[in-house]
Amino acid sequence: MTQAHLPVKATEAMKSALLPMLGCVTLLAFMGLAAGVSAAPPGEAWAKMGIHCLHLAIGLGAFLVLFSAPVEGFRKIVPGLCFLVWLVLLGMKLIPGFGHESHGATRWVSVGPMLLQPSVFLQCLWPALLASWISKDPLRMSQPRELWRLMFLFAALMLPVLLQPDFGSILILAGATGMVLFFSGAPLNFLRQLIPLLLIALVLMLFLFDHVDARLASFFGGETGYQAQHAEEAFAAGGLTGVGPGLGVMKNGHVPEGDTDYILALIAEEWGLVGTGLVWALFVCFTLFGLRAARRAECRYGAILMAAAVLMVSMQAALNMAVVTGLVPPKGLPLPFVSRGGSSIISLSALLGLAVRAALERRRSKVPVSELIQWTESNALA
């Protein structure tokens, strides 16, 4: 590893943002492990803890590997990795027996004792590719033709994800992409043109996939779904301080996907409003410190990638909490770093490792990043 590719010594200002941000992730991971163990059905606590610890260990390894890897070297192979994931996703639909089907969707592949969800790894690879595309030539952000080419690439990348179907990943990736483009200076007129296209895509989903139509009709018709109803009961049972770790009853099959997508409901029952408030506060702090680190990055790529990584995590957390509390229609999404989702933990950990490394890179351009990205230190948002 050459000296040119080593990150410079972090300034005190950058340390004051990165260390608390990573501290929030660590606390969320420990809370998720503790909640998963205490919410495990009788006799399954050790098995659940072992699986969760394995996921966290692999996630930590992914973080360290990407943090140690040369940024420029990874930028060169990101397009190839995205294409590889795209081929795997396509193969899951075209090759019988290649993908693992569950709950009516073919989203997983077996890797030894683990089931991995390839589409989730786009949550690491696509932000890296998007940040590289923007930072390579910032003038592209003012050229509608180049922006439409980017949107065509994104649509092609999402096609096999749609066929699974995995609308949660598409929603998270599309939302993060739009916000990154907005923060990076994309014309508002271009972003407004995307709204009708998103509405058309939603209408097509309603016609192509019956379960999407049923969920939306149930939600807007005022009906409370099975999962949302039991999640509300868990919140009500927990009250302010909860019934105590390990003493909840909702974990015994009353809340489906309780150790993954609906882990917040079990935290609410056993730890009460204090526990759920702590989870919410940690994600808010993670977002604030992460955006502060993005603003203080010296290079364009580091600034954009750090912001994209923070938005990817915080948007998924917000959507998960909204689903669990019944504010939006049900959708299966893990709570980042808290749920026992191996693919999510590994992918987002790798993304943070790459983003932290990129944020510490030395600025090569003679033009300050604040003059090329409007949302850094000189902007009112900062």
Please tell me the total number of residues recorded for the chain in this structure. 382
pTM for this predicted structure: 0.87
Counting residues of the chain whose pLDDT is more than 70, the rounded percentage is 82
Does 377 fall in a domain?
A: no
Residue spans of the chain under pLDDT 70 = 1-10, 99-106, 108, 111-113, 210-214, 216-225, 253, 258, 363-382
Give the pair of three-digit tokens for residue 288: 């604030």
Domain that residue 97 falls in? 3-372
Does 56 fall in a domain?
A: yes
Q: Do β-strands 100-102 and 105-111 pair in parallel, antiparallel, or remain unpaired?
A: antiparallel
Does 80 fall in a domain?
A: yes
Does 218 fall in a domain?
A: yes
Does 340 fall in a domain?
A: yes
pLDDT at 1: 43
Does 156 fall in a domain?
A: yes
Does 382 fall in a domain?
A: no
Nearest-5° Cα angle at 122, 120 to 128: 140
pLDDT at 170: 86
pLDDT at 284: 96
Instruction: Give the three-class secondary structure for 226.
Output: helix
Q: Look at phi and psi of residue 103 and say left if phi exceeds 0, alpha if psi is from -120 to 50, else beta.
A: left
Does 43 fall in a domain?
A: yes
The Cα–Cα gap between 93 and 36 comes to 32
pLDDT at 366: 56
Q: How many domains does the chain have?
A: 1
The Cα–Cα gap between 335 and 332 comes to 10
State the distance between the two ends of the chain, measured CA to CA, in whole angstroms. Answer: 34
Give the pair of three-digit tokens for residue 181: 């483009």
